[in-house]
Chains A and B, each alone.
Chain A
Amino acid sequence: MKSRDVFSFAFGAVRLRKMRAGLTILGIVIGIAAIVALTSITTGLQVTITSELGEGFSSDTVTVSTQSFGMFGGGSSDFTLLVNDTDTINEIDGVQTSAAIMSKSVMLDFGSTELPLSVTGVDYAAYASIYPSFVTEEGSIPETPANDSVVIGSRLTDPWDNGTVLAEVGDTILISWTHRVGLEIVEKNYTAEVVAVLEEIGGFSMGPSDLGLYIPLSTAQSFFDTDEVNSIAVKLVSDDEEFVETVSQAIEDAFDGLVSVTSPTALLAIMSSVFDIISLFLVGIAGISLLVAGIGIMNIMIVSLLERTREIGILKALGMKSRTVLGIFLTEALVVGLVGAVVGVVTGYSMAIIFSAFSGSMFGGGMLGGDRGLSTSMMTITPVLTTEIILGAMLFGVLVAVIFALYPAWRASKLNPVDALRHE
């Protein structure tokens, strides 16, 4: 029998039982839609974040710290970076300038509100030359800042978007730092005056943040009573990838390999692998629903096989080969899988678009900022539907349908025509 005839015969069988076929297809649709929605949202999220990250930092800037980035841990060592380590770094070929960054968690008293945030001690001039986003909206960053000056991120003026101004240029903020000396808990206070408010920076960036408070490095050194810094930001003379790598290596060597140098490119790679894991996990969950749909197909086909035993007997009596019977049953599953996959892709993408429309308003205002916590800025996710997602999801749906149909189809093909014809 020609494949076209096999197809039309199988298609006719599927069409005959519309309700049943519809429900079976629905199972596939749900599975595929979940996969497509999740994948396109996570891909969209990834694109949004990487592009914001890409804007947020220049690729000629690297960060030196005593440990490698984030959760991948660097192993603890007693080595610490100090304020004057910038001198060592500045001497390395290819380094344009560097800035030490000292950051501590403190409690801030704005007069009306207290907030736990972190304060960063930096050399304003060096910091601004590394991060172009360190520019003011209001006020100005003094060249030789007074000890009690503080530059604040734009978000701190009106953190909840409701006109509650926390601090403006000229206001004072009481900074209190609680730390441990030996067994005692010591609280230190000092009052800083806001000299400038930064321009809005955006969601994800290295360097300055919309929620940041920046005090002069010397003030930080004396207030926190330490020369130890969290990291040193380094601006290189070129952003050529190979060059960045070479200089990064030189910096590591200068500290006998006790520091790690993180470049934005490496950071992006790590972020993207984290997103890959998240999306794999989510797709795995969606895959389970597809598995359930597959079992549904198998179930339905076994029922259909029992109902159509006589039909199979007739077809065999008319000279149809076992493999053609197998082909008919698999084609029926293929039709179900294909229709389910196509509808599933469309549904899934629509779901993703609807979700992103909702999430836009959620991330922007209420949700994250609602509980008096602060979010840096809003982020809109545009779901991304790539050809890979479409083809992958469809292939997966069709594959699941066909694989679960293998057993019933095989059983149908193995039916003995004599018994099948006698079947009531």
Chain B
Amino acid sequence: MTTVLEVEDITKTYMMGEIPVNALRGLSFKVESGEYIAIVGPSGSGKSTLLNMIGALDRPTSGNLMIEGVDVSTLSDNQLADTRKNVGFVFQFFNLIPRLDARGNVELPLAIADVPRSERKKRTKEVLTSVGLEDRMHHKPSELSGGERQRVAVARAIVASPAFILMDEPTGNLDSKTAGEIMDLVKQLNEEQGVTLIVVSHDQNIGRQAGRTLHMLDGVIASDVVN
């Protein structure tokens, strides 16, 4: 097994006006390829800050964060953008581009990564089929249900075969039945295709399905439990 994510004693300090806020106070963990890991904790525990670091959206104040061996903490903005191509994001509010249809949205990461058109088409169709949306390819997000939108988001996250999928409250905006379906889908992707999953949530129940749960509290990892 290879290590896809390695977090070493990272801290993050924000300035809230004049007052420094220590959102992360030194935490370390590793994620191996094929793992399904949940990071849970109440609001204010530093989950979102950690998510921004793991997703290469932001740099830590100190410590090292390696995504497939690339140290994010030292990268320029451009290199950071390139590193994000190796992360599959799934957001609470789906964050699809409203004017693009399902296929256009899923194709986007491939277009950004300069994948040739014919290959993009093929791969997009493949991925949309794997999330069960092969007959909804030409629908715009506004024509899709919440669950379907999140499936599109999942398809978009996995389409470029990133190092891991990073999910931010993926079920926060869905009813419990649909939420269950989405979590089943990602579990299936994890088990059948070996997709590495990192799910960040305040919902303790989310962690049940995961193979491992990190509990965060006040900017540190309170517990690291293998289920």
Residues of A within 8 A of B (CB): 1-2, 5, 9, 12-13, 16, 310-311, 313-324, 417-418, 421
Question: Are A421 and B112 in contact, with the CB atoms below 8 A?
Answer: no
Closest to B100 in A: A12
Interface 0/1 of B49-66, CB less than 8 Å to A: 000100101100000000
Q: How far is the CA of A421 from the CA of B84 in the complex (A)?
A: 14
Hey, which chain B residues are within 8 Å of A310, CB to CB? 95
Interface 0/1 of B80-93, CB less than 8 Å to A: 01111110010100
Hey, which chain B residues are within 8 Å of A317, CB to CB? 55, 57, 84, 89, 95
Can you list 10 pairs linking A and B with CB atoms under 8 Å apart? A1-B111, A2-B114, A9-B111, A311-B97, A316-B84, A318-B112, A319-B82, A319-B83, A319-B84, A319-B109
B77: CB under 8 A from chain A? yes
List 12 additional contacts besides A2-B111, A418-B57; criterion CB under 8 Å.
Answer: A12-B100, A310-B95, A314-B97, A315-B108, A316-B84, A318-B84, A318-B85, A319-B81, A319-B84, A319-B112, A417-B57, A418-B58
Question: Are B114 and A314 in contact, with the CB atoms below 8 A?
Answer: no
Hey, which chain A residues are within 8 Å of B55, CB to CB? 317
Which 8 A-B residue pairs are closest in the complex by CB-CB distance?
A319-B85, A319-B84, A321-B81, A5-B111, A417-B57, A314-B95, A318-B109, A16-B99
Main secondary structure of the interface of A (DSSP, over half): helix
CB distance from A419 to the nearest CB of B (A): 10
Hey, which chain A residues are within 8 Å of B83, CB to CB? 319
Hey, which chain A residues are within 8 Å of B85, CB to CB? 318-319
B78: CB under 8 A from chain A? yes
Closest to A319 in B: B85
B222: CB under 8 A from chain A? no
Which of B77, B81, B91, B96 touches A421 (beta carbons < 8 Å)? Answer: B91
Q: How far is the CA of A13 from the CA of B78 in the complex (A)?
A: 24
B144: CB under 8 A from chain A? no
Hey, which chain A residues are within 8 Å of B100, CB to CB? 12
Hey, which chain A residues are within 8 Å of B52, CB to CB? 418
Hey, which chain A residues are within 8 Å of B114, CB to CB? 1-2
Q: How far is the CA of A318 from the CA of B97 in the complex (A)?
A: 12
Hey, which chain B residues are within 8 Å of A5, CB to CB? 111
Hey, which chain A residues are within 8 Å of B86, CB to CB? 319
Hey, which chain B residues are within 8 Å of A418, CB to CB? 52, 57-58
Question: Are B81 and A320 in contact, with the CB atoms below 8 A?
Answer: yes
CB distance from B154 to the nearest CB of A (A): 14
Given contacts A5-B111, A418-B57, A421-B91, contact A316 B99 (CB under 8 A): no
Question: Are B58 and A421 in contact, with the CB atoms below 8 A?
Answer: no
Closest to B96 in A: A314
Question: Are A13 and B99 in contact, with the CB atoms below 8 A?
Answer: yes
Q: How far is the CA of A9 from the CA of B97 in the complex (A)?
A: 11
The residue in B58, B82, B97 that gathers the most chain A C-beta atoms within 10 A of its C-beta is B97
Q: How far is the CA of A313 from the CA of B156 in the complex (A)?
A: 15
Question: Are A322 and B95 in contact, with the CB atoms below 8 A?
Answer: no
Question: Are B58 and A318 in contact, with the CB atoms below 8 A?
Answer: no
B225: CB under 8 A from chain A? no
B113: CB under 8 A from chain A? yes
Closest to B156 in A: A318
